[in-house]
Structure 1
Amino acid sequence: MSGYSTKAKVSAALVASLTALAVIGTVVAQEMWSDAEATGMWVVLGLVVGTGMLLAYVAWSVTADMMANERAREELALSEARVTGLVSIAADAIITIDATHRITLFNQGAEQIFGWRADEMIGQGLERLLPARFHAGHHRMIDGFNAGAESARRMGDRREISGVRKSGEEFPAEASILKQTLDGATTFTVVLRDITERKHVEDSQRFLADAGSVLTRTLEFDETLAAVAQLPVPRLADACIVDVIGDGGAGDGSGDFRLRRTTSVSEDPRVNMALAALAADAPGPDSASATVDVFRTGKPLLLTEIDDDFMEAHSETPEALARARALAARSAMLVPLQAREKVFGVMSFVSVGARRYGPADLDLAKQLASRAAFAIDNARLFGLANAATRARDDMLGVVSHDLRNPVNAIGMVARVLRESPPEDPAARADLVNAISDAAEWMDRLIRDLLDSGAIEAGRLSLERHREDVRPIVDSAVAMFEHLAEERGVILAVQCPEDLPPVDGDSARLVQVLCNLVSNAITHTERNGVVSVVASVQGSDLQFVVRDTGVGISLEHLPHVFERHWRVPATKKKGGLGLGLAIAHGIVVAHGGRIWVESEPGQGTAFFVSLPLETPAA
């Protein structure tokens, strides 16, 4: 409205000037025409016209200047409004202080970063936004900057500082400063950016890089597990627990669930004692443990707060609850360990102090667990490769030894038949039978090797039918009655006639029982007993082959179903060491379970459990 009023006034002045010019011109013209002979007529007329033109120009110039000034003021006001708006909505904190270090401007970005409202900070000292240890240095920096010739520090010259929020929380920041002097008054404008998130990302990347370096130092499985458990301590956790199934693989295919637990080492003796107790407390398959839940689902679990109710709900026994309370975890993250699309373990990050885990911590834990899983899987594969090499060498030695016996037998008989064939038909028949037995021996060795390879490759074929149990047991036992009699071992059978039929491959099931019975007779002394019992246990058919032999020590029990493994004290008795491994593979292929129970001097019992109904595909 002020601009419009000024323009109106100028226009009115211009109209008035022109009107005056017209009046004067009229008067002069009248006088000129009434007295045409008057002296100086043309002079007067020139003065009148010139004066009018001058007045018109002056009026136009004044009007143009005033309108230009109005436009400049309007543009300046608009520019100031734009700047004010940008300052107000900027995400960075923009803070202006005067020469006394008092705040005169505190934008919305500053409110969001520091947690103070603008009306709370206007008039306050800037040091209120800095940790106390920086107050003196802050004043020196401002005074030195004020005294210098430099008017601004570019963004590239920023230096990292620390700010303090209204809550008292410190945070890393970058800041730049601008000095302005207007009408003799100096002000300073600080532009500050919260770099907490960026620092977190940088620290996390350094942490993961360091972890990667640690994880590549060894390929030994146990050493890798220990390194993985120690990785997050103390950067990400006060304690770490690593649970992997079996040897870190996806299990042995038997359906058994055995977690192997490794724990970190803490600087806190109390935590170490609690971890030592937990190290021998790996959860079982039916446990209510959160670890088992994560293993089964493959989904990470974030526990921001852990209370006693949670520990009670996830502890199977009072002893387990006591161990959990001894650790006194206050927050935790459980992350699955996964490699080649299979979950094989769980990595648990535990806080026993003030730290409370959040989504950002979980994201870092998942990245670390991914790298750890890769390292564990590599170590497992390295171990398997070494074991395979050793097994190959052992197998070649055993095969060459075991095949040499029947080959030698055939060679000897062939020489006898060639050099001095007996005339007695019975003697010739014995030699022919010896060749036949040696050939069968070789055939059995070769079939065992082929079956073992098929099981290892997952290609074992089954011809399943509804089969009566008694013929399976009788067939297996009949093959070893003569051997048992020769060794002086009593062979006992208990198999009711009314057992329900089993869904399976009868030839393969006979093979399983043959391997178990043969193994039992081999390791039973004279006058000992080998019993074969078949019965129904719940929804399963169960075979038990029990002997009264020397037994197997506890340290050897986990290895009895491994390929080429034999009881150390009986290795000289020959054999490829494949019988139990083949039996295990056949049982698993039927959807069943096989296990062993034994004590030195108390004999050994092998259990085979097969579902009576066909397992769902």
Structure 2
Amino acid sequence: MSIVTTSTPSSSGSNQGMHATADRTARRCAETALFMRDHVLSLVSHDLRSPLNAIHSWAYVLDRKIDTSDATAQRALEGIRNGVDQQVKLLESIVDTTRAETRTLALNRAPFALRPLVDETVGDVRNALAAQRNVALELDASVDAQQLVGDRERLAAALWLLVTFAVEASASGATVALAARVDAATFEATVTWPHAAAALTDAGLPHVLEKFAREQAAHPREAGRISWVLGLCKRVAEAHDGAFEQGEWIDGQPSTLKLRVPLAGA
């Protein structure tokens, strides 16, 4: 079953519904920022430890080569070692400690219907951002009766971010398409849109995601890495034994984000 939803707000929408959408949007934005911070800290920890390990290894090589009677060389070597030790302690005391509470993502698993989740997501993004951006939302859903055993709130946040980011990266008049499918024992949500990098940082357009996150997403990516702002999608998918995929983004070309999660929890 397919439904096409445009960016035109419903005239019969109640104030209560709009307040609920605003509350969910604010919560989703805060969650996105939290997971982005956690994702960046994870990258910092990994990227700093690699060169520090190399420096430590070369210091060991130098130690075996330098004349023990050369006081200046010995002081220089000791300075290198102390510098490495200080950096490692900083990583352990600041980066690792900060990530301790979010390193393992707790899930509140329960069965829930997929269709209401998809409809709620499209409605929230349409009302909070797409309508103001003149971006149409097209929904192609084949999840009428299916249920998923997982953390509905976490998955709702991930699905919201997929669609919201696509709208953020779309020019006025564009269409963002969300395809929701159940393939065998897996729920798959794919968002497709014509990528417009300039829209991410255009100060004249309304935005809901943080400026810093949007600016970083507009930069070229290192191989195999996702944009920082999408860290929530990756963490939530993997916590459910699923996967998150970020396609290549080329200006004016169709771009994709994909979330895959098993219907039944582990």
Q: TM range, normalised to the smaller chain? A: 0.5 to 0.7
**1:465 corresponds to which letter in structure 2?**
A
2:67 alignment partner in structure 1: none
Contact 1:531/1:545 (<8 A) preserved: yes
| 2:112 aligns with one of 432, 452, 467 | 467
**2:256 corresponds to which letter in structure 1?**
A
2:188 alignment partner in structure 1: 542
| 2:139 aligns with one of 483, 488, 493 | 493
- Separation in structure 2 between the aligned mates of residue 551 and residue 471 of structure 1, nearest angstrom: 31
Contact 1:455/1:585 (<8 A) preserved: no
Verify: 1:608 aligned to 2:253, yes or no. no
Contact 1:531/1:547 (<8 A) preserved: yes
Q: 3-state DSSP class of the match of 1:533?
A: strand
The offset of 1:600, in angstroms, is 1.9
| 2:171 aligns with one of 500, 506, 525 | 525
Q: CA RMSD in A?
A: 3.9
Change (3 A) 1:453 1:383: closer
The offset of 1:582, in angstroms, is 2.4
> Deviations for 1:350-372, whole angstroms, at most 9, x for unmatched residues?
xxxxxxxxxxxxxxxxxxxxxxx
> Deviations for 1:446-469, whole angstroms, at most 9, x for unmatched residues?
xxxxxx9686342x4332112221
Quick one: higher RCO (CA 8 Å, sep 6+), 1 or 2? 2
1:590 alignment partner in structure 2: 240
- Separation in structure 2 between the aligned mates of residue 384 and residue 508 of structure 1, nearest angstrom: 31
Runs (5+) with no aligned partner, structure 1: 1-218, 233-374, 390-451, 553-563, 572-576
Which of the pair has more CA radius of gyration?
1
> Deviations for 1:416-474, whole angstroms, at most 9, x for unmatched residues?
xxxxxxxxxxxxxxxxxxxxxxxxxxxxxxxxxxxx9686342x433211222111111
**1:591 corresponds to which letter in structure 2?**
D
Runs (5+) with no aligned partner, structure 2: 1-47, 62-80, 199-211, 220-226
What aligned pairs does 1:287-366 form with structure 2 within 5 A after superposition? none
2:126 alignment partner in structure 1: 481
The offset of 1:513, in angstroms, is 1.1
What aligned pairs does 1:249-260 form with structure 2 within 5 A after superposition? none
Change (3 A) 1:487 1:565: closer
Contact 1:499/1:535 (<8 A) preserved: no
- Separation in structure 2 between the aligned mates of residue 534 and residue 593 of structure 1, nearest angstrom: 15
1:407 alignment partner in structure 2: none
Contact 1:468/1:500 (<8 A) preserved: yes
- Separation in structure 2 between the aligned mates of residue 523 and residue 584 of structure 1, nearest angstrom: 19
What aligned pairs does 1:200-599 form with structure 2 within 5 A after superposition? 221-222=50-51, 224-225=53-54, 382=88, 385=91, 456-458=102-104, 460-482=105-127, 483-498=129-144, 500-550=146-196, 565-568=213-216, 580-599=230-249
How many corresponding residue pairs?
171
**1:462 corresponds to which letter in structure 2?**
L
The offset of 1:225, in angstroms, is 4.5
- Separation in structure 1 between the aligned mates of residue 260 and residue 142 of structure 2, nearest angstrom: 17
The offset of 1:224, in angstroms, is 3.9
Contact 1:489/1:530 (<8 A) preserved: yes
Change (3 A) 1:499 1:383: farther
Contact 2:142/2:182 (<8 A) preserved: no
TM-score, normalized by length of structure 2? 0.52
- Separation in structure 1 between the aligned mates of residue 148 and residue 139 of structure 2, nearest angstrom: 18
What aligned pairs does 1:96-135 form with structure 2 within 5 A after superposition? none
Q: 3-state DSSP class of the match of 2:247?
A: strand
Contact 1:221/1:383 (<8 A) preserved: no
Contact 1:547/1:603 (<8 A) preserved: yes
Identity %: 22
> Deviations for 1:240-283, whole angstroms, at most 9, x for unmatched residues?
xxxxxxxxxxxxxxxxxxxxxxxxxxxxxxxxxxxxxxxxxxxx
1:290 alignment partner in structure 2: none
The offset of 1:222, in angstroms, is 3.7
**1:469 corresponds to which letter in structure 2?**
L
